[in-house]
Structure 1
């Protein structure tokens, strides 16, 4: 199995600076060899962490001048007022000094407990320690250093041949709890060796986010820090434009969907990845809305955890999603077993239905009979372990 690396033109480093009580890695740097293009999609929560506000301001003015990302875990730097804003700026300054660029060329990511002030002295010592270690081989270490309650790192890459040249898209993500589709990426960094205009990169990233990270929910709670960043080094020599964007979009979507599904599968306490498909809907947006509503239902998620094919909970959730459909036209499948036709139960075998949710992968498909569009959502089951993790998070 090949070792994960970011796209060409990027180096990374990671280590420990003492922000995590566990002593696990909690600080990382991603550095572009040259100035690159950046784009970002952020939480839509009104309560935004200092790094989110900082990054939004940087990308609004300097999206074509990005050189680095600095990320910490163990402290969200959210709800921290002016001191938190200053801490985000100081993180950027520390990274810029280490890399040899201006602070406005650095983006900042933070994750961890909300409401705690960031210890910038620890960050300063950490940056000094890891900056000399920057290299292409440290991408896996970065993916581990951004983890909080994740049980495993999340990485993905894809290639596309564009104008006769192989272009790479490669990214990492973290997230296991406080994940819901209001830009539910938690933290994700995606790199490419293609060149792309900043405005085009921004619009494309928003489109792909809607088809990937915004289709994920673990617990229905969006975060203050959710951030997806795309950096384009351009070292492949390929420039993305209207004539070749389709192939690039496909590679970017493959990576983002893969990372999104990894987040869902690694939800806190999760034992099953649940894929919800809603088809024959009035629009893609409507299909996604219904799928997300089902994915957010604690009753659906607990039933699946318990191996109970209680399909009534699925239809009940769909019915309050705010999307019009005729219940008498509805069809529903669990895996390969059709449970509902014409809005009423089929003569299915209960044991066979239960077998469809007994494994680690569960598929739900709902036909609304109200159009031709299809949408998806990914989630996980709710277990007693989820309650334990969140009850004990700060203790």
Structure 2
């Protein structure tokens, strides 16, 4: 079940010059499933990433961080390949897990005749089981043989776990007369909470971006997209979001985001990142509602986020939305325990879409429960809270919590 989300039409998922993708069945956890993906980058590409803030992070996350720290302008230190397996997270596996992640990078590097430090490994799936490196390595030749520029849609399938549909999106913009392509894929449906989510995201463009801009860009894009989604409040061990620029486009190097081309490109990159992040929420395990939570009138964006996440993580709020039950005091209670200091409840306002529910901290005299229920029956809903403390605003995207969420996670390993 998804919320207004369909599998992408492969014809609409555009190749990015300088990127090839290959997919294979390695039998990591189940036979007959696409579970191994390689992404190959041409020489001269720039890569940056954002990873989980879970202190119990997976071995591949640790290895990716190590390899990215070693990147310099030298050709033989540039990232040239990514390898992704599903079915096994290689998390909670200790020293052996680290050795296995490094062995995976070593094996692909050997096949490509590059250094192991030029390979980034990614894993997603069950935690605390050893990675079947032999099966992954055995599947690599088939993945490499499959590598083509047009295989983004196939790769979106290859990185899925409990996702019900693949997630991929493309957009093109014109920079100084040159058409530039942006394409991305993501996966995730459960164990989703910012910092980041049980998600993998890979975003590539042929735009000629100064490599020095990429680390901050990856952080900014994540903060406005993948770090604004939550399904169940669980921060995963494996979350990774990578931004790749092959720099193939024939336009002047973008070294300042304040230029016209810089602003155009940055807006397009954010649009693709947010589309991929929203797709994860729309495919949330058991989700039936896509909910936007916008908190306005805070002193700071941080306190707006505190209120938004308190609402988004409340099982009572989420189950009320699943049932279309306008028990909206649950939202006010969540705002109250969000941790905002000196909150004046007499200033709080609450809207569901166009329906004013609360004014000045109390029930709007004109509010009718039937109006609230009308909105809650929709598949897409906006909760708007006004704190009455300032001008800051922030937004979080989430979903409801259904019976199916429990069933999916109870049966996850079977």
State the TM bucket, normalised to the shorter chain.
Answer: over 0.9
Q: Match for 1:329 among 347, 350, 357?
A: 347
State the SS of the aligned residue for 1:318. helix
Q: Which residue of 2 aligns with 1:367?
A: 386
State the SS of the aligned residue for 2:60. helix
Q: Which residue of 1 aligns with 2:53?
A: 44
Q: Match for 2:268 among 251, 257, 267?
A: 251
Structure 1 residues 324-363: Cα deviation after superposition (integer angstroms, max 9, x where no partner): 4321111111121110111111121212210101122111
Q: Which residue of 2 aligns with 1:204?
A: 217
State the SS of the aligned residue for 2:320. helix
Q: TM-score w.r.t. structure 1 length?
A: 0.96
Q: Match for 1:278 among 258, 276, 295?
A: 295
> Contact between 1:9 and 1:193, CA under 8 Å: does it hold in 2?
yes
> Contact between 1:185 and 1:213, CA under 8 Å: does it hold in 2?
no
Q: Which residue of 2 aligns with 1:61?
A: 70
> Contact between 2:198 and 2:235, CA under 8 Å: does it hold in 1?
no
Q: Which residue of 1 aligns with 2:234?
A: 221
Query: Whole-Å Cα distance in 2 between the matches of residues 17 and 74 of structure 1?
Result: 10
State the SS of the aligned residue for 1:112. strand
Query: Whole-Å Cα distance in 2 between the matches of residues 116 and 282 of structure 1?
Result: 45
Q: Which residue of 2 aligns with 1:119?
A: 132
Q: Which residue of 2 aligns with 1:309?
A: 326
Q: Please show how residues 1-395 of structure 1 align to structure 2 within 5 Å.
A: 2-21=11-30, 23-62=32-71, 65-184=78-197, 186-238=199-251, 239-242=253-256, 243=259, 244-324=261-341, 325-346=343-364, 347-395=366-414
Deviates more, 1:134-143 or 1:18-27: 18-27
Deviation of 1:223 after TM superposition, in Å, equals: 0.5
* Structure 1 vs Structure 2 CA RMSD: 1.5
Deviation of 1:199 after TM superposition, in Å, equals: 3.3
Query: Whole-Å Cα distance in 1 between the matches of residues 363 and 72 of structure 2?
Result: 54
State the SS of the aligned residue for 1:222. coil
Deviates more, 1:285-294 or 1:7-16: 285-294
State the SS of the aligned residue for 1:115. coil
Deviation of 1:263 after TM superposition, in Å, equals: 0.7
Query: Whole-Å Cα distance in 1 between the matches of residues 338 and 59 of structure 2?
Result: 33
Query: Whole-Å Cα distance in 2 between the matches of residues 63 and 106 of structure 1?
Result: 14
> Contact between 2:288 and 2:399, CA under 8 Å: does it hold in 1?
yes
> Contact between 2:44 and 2:247, CA under 8 Å: does it hold in 1?
no
Deviation of 1:6 after TM superposition, in Å, equals: 4.3
Deviation of 1:63 after TM superposition, in Å, equals: 6.0
> Contact between 1:58 and 1:107, CA under 8 Å: does it hold in 2?
yes
> Contact between 1:39 and 1:63, CA under 8 Å: does it hold in 2?
no
> Contact between 2:156 and 2:187, CA under 8 Å: does it hold in 1?
yes
Query: Whole-Å Cα distance in 2 between the matches of residues 364 and 6 of structure 1?
Result: 37
State the SS of the aligned residue for 1:375. strand
Deviation of 1:130 after TM superposition, in Å, equals: 1.8
Query: Whole-Å Cα distance in 2 between the matches of residues 188 and 299 of structure 1?
Result: 30
Structure 1 residues 28-70: Cα deviation after superposition (integer angstroms, max 9, x where no partner): 0111132311101000111011100000011111165111111
> Contact between 1:205 and 1:230, CA under 8 Å: does it hold in 2?
yes
Query: Whole-Å Cα distance in 2 between the matches of residues 286 and 241 of structure 1?
Result: 33
Deviates more, 1:294-303 or 1:192-201: 192-201
Deviation of 1:182 after TM superposition, in Å, equals: 1.7
Q: How many residue pairs get matched? A: 395
Deviation of 1:22 after TM superposition, in Å, equals: 5.7
> Contact between 1:329 and 1:343, CA under 8 Å: does it hold in 2?
yes
State the SS of the aligned residue for 1:34. coil
Where does the alignment leave 5 or more consecutive residues of structure 2 unmatched? 1-8
- TM-aligned CA distance change 1:6 to 1:373, over 3 Å: farther
Deviation of 1:391 after TM superposition, in Å, equals: 1.1
Where does the alignment leave 5 or more consecutive residues of structure 1 unmatched? none
> Contact between 2:198 and 2:238, CA under 8 Å: does it hold in 1?
no
